[in-house]
Amino acid sequence: MSTTKYPKNPILIVDDEESILLSIDTILQLGGMNNVVTCNDSRQVMSLVEKIQPETILLDLNMPHVNGEDILDKVSAQHPEIPVIIITGRIDADTAVTCIKSGAFDYIVKPVDENRLLASVKKSMQYRELHQENQVLKKQLTGEQEGHLEAFIQIITNSPKMLMIFNYAASIAVTSQPVLIRGETGTGKELIARAIHNLSGLPGEFVAINVAGLDDNVFSDTLFGHVKGAFTGAESDRSGLIERAAEGTLFLDEIGDLNAGSQIKLLRLLQEKEYMPIGQDEHRKSSARIIASTHVDLWDLQNRDLFRQDLHYRLRTHRIMLPPLRDRKEDLGLLASHFAREASATLDRAAPQFPKELLPLLNTYNFPGNIRELQAMVFDAIAQNSNGMLPLTTFRAHIARTRQLEQNQNNHHTTTTLPFTFADPLPTIKEATRMLIEEALQRAENNQSIAASMLGISQQALSKRLKSWEKN
């Protein structure tokens, strides 16, 4: 049973009337577009756009709080790559012309014609795809891609997503504006930050600090330093990391965990380029560029009043979103080989061979710990290797433990929202079982042992069921 979302980025529908949202959503679903997000509060649109990066926006004009024309202006200015289709009850030509001049991709009048809507959405998706291809082609033709790839040599990848990130990172490296890098733990945020620093041409150091868990006093002392006598034990002046990173880059890891008091001080540093060591009355100027990273959604923290809006906007002048390993599985072979060579060198052993079942097995796993988790898995397997062949049992045991932990957590956090959508009419138990087994075999590249482990049954039980199907 396929759970593939189409399009890859969601289509965002914005309208204050629930009936309209439901109607348009239904049309899109029937047209094969099952990745849809709806919004009935115009005040949430821009934060939602930042969060989900929609493929296309279907936007009503007449809404309370923020009208559609204002939203169109903001999207056109901040995200010109996202097509906006206006859907409204207004039928006057002047409004249509104004919207098109403001950057709207198309203009559809209610009541919405199903064929007209689907055709417009498909054209908008083609437009965005063409826009992205043109951007990549432009970078390739200008030689930009070849000129900076050496700065990313520590990042092992052949993923088109990562190569596009490299291009963007290189284009912003020479600016002095802050960069916000978001991604799950283990996706390589610090490696990207180091590459940006290396490409920037800044003569100063790259200085990194994890700010998670630092209270306000420790944060201030660590970043800004102190003067002699500032507090008990301050027997001499001590410079902070800001001074150490002068004319260089200060990398603040896990910025989402920064407490409220420290957020105010960091905001002043970004706004005024000034800071004050503890115990000193005069400000000092900073020449360090700030790059921050987080594994959490700052929009969510901002909406819950846990992260300052003004600081968020200052940090995210440039934004990079790193994909998790499960979204770049084409890199699994490269990464596993690289980590195997590293581990073999560390343990002073010959590099082992990979069993043919290894990559199909890894492809069935989602890697919640991302690249670091894969690295640890390979190192553990190399340490246990004794016959020149990487043992599959180590990988299978790790995957089984993780899946059991996830299952235990799901049992403790029950929810009424199902992780998949049922067909209508419902399949029978026999039909659903067959579809599930076929999907598992497809993902496991017809390896019955791997498919059985995904399904939580023994290989013998799976083999028995398959043989019974052959007889019928």
The domains of the chain, with CATH numbers, are: 11-137 (3.40.50.2300), 159-323 (3.40.50.300), 328-412 (1.10.8.60), 429-471 (1.10.10)
> Could you read off the pLDDT of 73-118 as tens digits, one per residue?
999 888 888 999 999 887 777 888 888 888 899 999 888 899 999 9
> Could you read off the pLDDT of 437-456 as tens digits, one per residue?
888 888 777 787 777 777 77
- CB within 8 Å of 112: residues ≥ 6 apart: 23, 24, 27, 87
Nearest CA-CA partner of 67 in 51, 90, 91, 50: 90
> Could you read off the pLDDT of 146-196 as tens digits, one per residue?
556 788 888 999 898 998 898 888 888 888 889 999 999 999 999 999 999
3-class SS shares of the chain: helix, strand, coil, % to 5:
50, 10, 35
Question: CA–CA separation, 5 vs 28, rounded Å?
Answer: 13
414, pLDDT greater than 60 = no
- CB within 8 Å of 37: residues ≥ 6 apart: 10, 11, 12, 13, 48, 52, 54
The pLDDT value recorded for residue 2 is 39
- CB within 8 Å of 118: residues ≥ 6 apart: 27, 28, 31
> Could you read off the pLDDT of 231-280 as tens digits, one per residue?
777 778 888 899 999 889 999 999 999 999 899 999 989 988 888 888 88
Question: CA–CA separation, 189 vs 249, rounded Å?
Answer: 14
First-last CA distance in the chain:
21
Cis peptide before 7 (omega within 30 of 0): yes
0.85 exceeded by pTM: no
> Could you read off the pLDDT of 210-234 as tens digits, one per residue?
998 888 888 988 999 888 877 777 7
